[in-house]
């Protein structure tokens, strides 16, 4: 047993707190990772606010990259010394979903909101109490024990801070456009919300060949950065974007609307449904209380589709290395996603900056 510093949330709406946790040794199919960097996704904030289902207390963080320090006796996927990105949904490779190319739906992902391992036990402990890690990860800990199914080996020369973002935000956003929506050359795409996830939806849409990548975000800095990521037109509100789409498509409306706002509300779903034309699709990635409230006729008459997207419909074992390859070839911007770096002690400040619209992504850099 070793100890590790970590940011935990004891109960909904309590700030993140830095504590020393006891960490068990990895069991047969598990590994211990020393995290170097952790991305600050909005989903951790949903957990901290009590807006999403989770067992408390919880170790935060589901975007992370680090080095494998120890492996259990039966581990085959990674070895000590490997650099890894963790996948926020594990990929067992064997279940019905993994074996049919839907690793984002892997059956092993069922404990994401309890943080317990498949055998019903926990690896983090504090004063005799068990703690789960978010998505059975907990990248806001300097060290964590993970299932080997949650680890993806990456090349040693990829910096840890950009690699960490390929745990969730990058594949989720990029895949929302490329996989879940299936954007094609020449199309018109509207992206609502250009934060850590939406910026990558913009990159994905542009790389897939969209003619118009229209971004809606109320924050000027996000709109300016969206242009860097490939947006062709940006607007502060949905109404102005709608008017532009009507004009630029000669009334045919958009092919795709991608919803990646911080908190899903009714209004953005309504705007997205209105902005897509015949055979258009609304793809919902954002999490929040928003409800789909549309008359059937609205879907039928224009043959519109509404698609939910988890992890951008990615296959992490394939997509994580592929996205890092696109980074290396200059086809995917990752450095530009990181606005600020924080120490673990600054985690609450990092989330405040996210909510204040100051960050595309904040990244915690662990000090070892
Ligand atoms: N489905 C999945 O697999 C999955 C995975 C990761 C994150 N998420 C969710 O995706 C959402 C986005 O996460 P993020 O980390 O990018 O958050 P973020 O806070 O970094 O970005 C959200 C962006 O939305 C903008 N915004 C807020 N209200 C808006 C509105 N009404 N119209 C347009 N833009 C608006 C904000 O200014 C901000 O730029 C969150 O709800 C998160 O929980 C889902
Ligand atoms: Zn996330
Ligand atoms: Zn599986």
State the alpha helices, DSSP H only, in the chain. 42-48, 160-164, 169-175, 198-207, 220-229, 238-248, 266-275, 296-301, 316-328, 347-355
CATH architecture of the domain 173-310 equals 3-Layer(aba) Sandwich (3.40)
Averaged pLDDT for residues 145-155: 98
> Token pair 């929506």 is at which residue?
181
Averaged pLDDT for residues 229-253: 98
32 C-alpha to ligand 1 centroid (Å)? 31
Q: Are 215 and 198 in contact (CB under 8 A)?
A: yes
Interatomic CA distance for residues 318 and 149, integer angstroms: 13
Interatomic CA distance for residues 220 and 329, integer angstroms: 29
Q: pLDDT at position 197, please?
A: 98
114 C-alpha to ligand 3 centroid (Å)? 18
- Please name the residue whose Cα sits nearest to atom 20 of ligand 1: 195
Nearest to residue 244, comparing CAs of 184, 253, 218?
Answer: 253
Is the pLDDT reported for residue 1 higher than 90?
Answer: no
244 C-alpha to ligand 2 centroid (Å)? 31
Residues 252-288 pLDDT 10s: 999 999 999 999 999 999 999 999 999 999 999 999 9
Pocket of ligand 1 contains residue 283 by CB under 6 Å: no
Pocket of ligand 1 contains residue 240 by CB under 6 Å: no
For the record, the structure tokens of 154 come out as 């990456």
Q: Residue 118: nearest ligand to its CA? A: 3
Interatomic CA distance for residues 231 and 293, integer angstroms: 29
Pocket of ligand 1 contains residue 241 by CB under 6 Å: no
Residues 100-117 pLDDT 10s: 999 999 999 999 999 999
DSSP secondary structure code for residue 321 in this structure: H
Residue to probe by mutation, ligand 1, list 195, 259, 269, most atoms within 8 Å of CB: 195
Q: Please name the helix (run of DSSP H) or strand (run of DSSP E) that holds residue 307, with its range, or none.
A: strand 305-308
Q: Are 164 and 139 in contact (CB under 8 A)?
A: yes
Is the pLDDT reported for residue 62 higher than 90?
Answer: yes
Pocket of ligand 1 contains residue 229 by CB under 6 Å: no
Using CB atoms within 10 Å of the CB of residue 296, give its burial: 0 to 12 exposed, 13 to 18 middle, 19+ buried. Answer: exposed
Pocket of ligand 1 contains residue 286 by CB under 6 Å: yes
Averaged pLDDT for residues 160-171: 98
- Please name the residue whose Cα sits nearest to atom 10 of ligand 1: 286
Q: Tell me how crowded residue 94 is: count the other CB atoms within 10 A of its CB.
A: 12
Q: Tell me how crowded residue 2 is: count the other CB atoms within 10 A of its CB.
A: 12
Pocket of ligand 1 contains residue 62 by CB under 6 Å: no
Angstrom CA distances, 216 to 85, 120, 238, 306, stand at: 30, 43, 6, 19
Of ligand 1's listed atoms, the one at least distance from the Cα of 284 is 1
Interatomic CA distance for residues 90 and 35, integer angstroms: 17
Pocket of ligand 1 contains residue 122 by CB under 6 Å: no
Of ligand 1's listed atoms, the one at least distance from the Cα of 360 is 20
Averaged pLDDT for residues 89-99: 98
Q: What is the mean pLDDT of the chain?
A: 98
Domain with CATH 3.90.180.10 in the chain: 2-167+334-365
102 C-alpha to ligand 3 centroid (Å)? 8
Domain with CATH 3.40.50.720 in the chain: 173-310
Q: Please name the helix (run of DSSP H) or strand (run of DSSP E) that holds residue 257, with its range, or none.
A: strand 254-259
Q: Are 57 and 131 in contact (CB under 8 A)?
A: yes
Residue to probe by mutation, ligand 1, list 38, 39, 40, 41, most atoms within 8 Å of CB: 41
- Please name the residue whose Cα sits nearest to atom 9 of ligand 1: 286
Pocket of ligand 1 contains residue 196 by CB under 6 Å: yes
Pocket of ligand 1 contains residue 362 by CB under 6 Å: no
**Crossing angle for the helix pair 238-248 and 266-275, to the nearest 10 degrees:** 10
Residues 7-57 pLDDT 10s: 999 999 999 999 999 999 999 999 999 999 999 999 999 999 999 889 999
Interatomic CA distance for residues 179 and 356, integer angstroms: 30
Residues 296-331 pLDDT 10s: 999 999 999 999 999 999 999 999 999 999 999 999
For the record, the structure tokens of 5 come out as 């510093």
Nearest to residue 146, comparing CAs of 38, 56, 23, 48?
Answer: 23
Residues 344-364 pLDDT 10s: 999 999 999 999 999 999 999
Fold of 2-167+334-365: Quinone Oxidoreductase; Chain A, domain 1 (3.90.180)
Pocket of ligand 1 contains residue 281 by CB under 6 Å: no
């Amino acid at each position: 047993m070793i100890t590790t510093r970590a940011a935990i949330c004891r109960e909904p709406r309590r700030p993140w707190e830095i504590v020393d946790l006891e960490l068990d040794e990895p069991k047969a199919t598990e590994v211990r990772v020393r995290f170097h960097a952790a991305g600050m996704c909005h989903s951790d904030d949903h957990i901290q606010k009590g807006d999403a289902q989770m067992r408390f207390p919880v170790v935060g963080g589901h975007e992370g990259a680090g080095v494998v320090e120890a492996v259990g006796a039966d581990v085959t996927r990674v070895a000590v010394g490997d650099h890894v990105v963790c996948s926020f949904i594990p990929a067992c490779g064997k279940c019905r979903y993994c074996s049919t190319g839907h690793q984002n739906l892997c059956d092993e992902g069922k404990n994401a909101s309890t943080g317990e391992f498949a055998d019903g036990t926990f690896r983090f402990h504090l004063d005799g109490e068990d703690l789960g890690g978010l998505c059975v990860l907990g990248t806001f800990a300097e060290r964590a024990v993970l299932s080997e199914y949650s680890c993806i080996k990456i090349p040693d020369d990829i910096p840890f801070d950009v690699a960490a973002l390929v745990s969730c935000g990058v594949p989720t956003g990029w895949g929302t456009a490329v996989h879940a929506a299936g954007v094609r050359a020449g199309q018109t795409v509207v992206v609502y919300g250009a934060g850590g996830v939406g910026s990558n939806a913009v990159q994905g849409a542009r790389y897939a060949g969209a003619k118009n990548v229209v971004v809606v975000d109320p924050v000027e800095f996000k709109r300016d950065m969206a242009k860097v990521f490939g947006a062709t037109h940006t607007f502060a509100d949905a109404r102005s974007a709608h008017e532009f789409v009507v004009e630029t498509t000669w009334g045919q409306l958009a092919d795709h609307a991608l919803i990646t706002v911080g908190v899903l509300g009714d209004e953005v779903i309504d705007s997205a449904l209105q902005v897509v034309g015949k055979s258009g699709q609304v793809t919902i990635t954002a999490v929040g209380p928003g409800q789909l409230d549309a008359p059937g006729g609205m879907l039928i008459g224009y043959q519109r589709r509404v698609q939910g997207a988890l992890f951008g419909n990615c296959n992490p074992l394939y997509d994580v290395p592929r996205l890092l390859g696109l980074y290396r070839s200059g086809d995917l911007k990752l450095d530009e996603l990181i606005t600020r770096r924080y120490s673990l002690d600054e985690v609450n400040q990092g989330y405040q900056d996210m909510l204040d619209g100051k960050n595309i992504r904040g990244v915690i850099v662990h000090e070892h």
